Amino acid sequence: FIWGILGIPTRMKIEFATKHRYDAYMGVNLDLFFGMDLSENDLSGEIPFELGDLLKLQSLNLSHNRLSGVIPESFSGLKNVESLDLSFNSLQGQ
């Protein structure tokens, strides 16, 4: 952790998992955001292109949802991704 004014963390390594509850920090710098598991959350609609802005992301699991549309072009910038699971959705394209 790197602590900022009033002891509020301004940079931290966080891994979110849907199986547990995490408190939200408004204004936290997500430079060190490495993994996200949003599987089996009944998510629907298109994948937000903003996920492509998480340049240090190493693991992303959006499987077993109701996502549709295409994989955002912004995902081409995710050079550090080692694990990407988009299975069991209604995505289109190549």
Q: Where are the domains of the chain?
A: 35-41+55-94
Distance in angstroms (rounded) separating the CA atoms of residues 88 and 93: 14
**What is the pLDDT, as a whole number, of residue 64?**
95
Query: Cα–Cα distance between 55 and 34 in angstroms, integer?
Result: 9
Q: What is the pLDDT of residues 22-73, one digit of tens each?
A: 455 455 566 667 888 889 988 999 999 888 888 888 999 999 999 999 999 9
Give residue 5's pLDDT. 44
Q: What is the pTM of this model?
A: 0.68
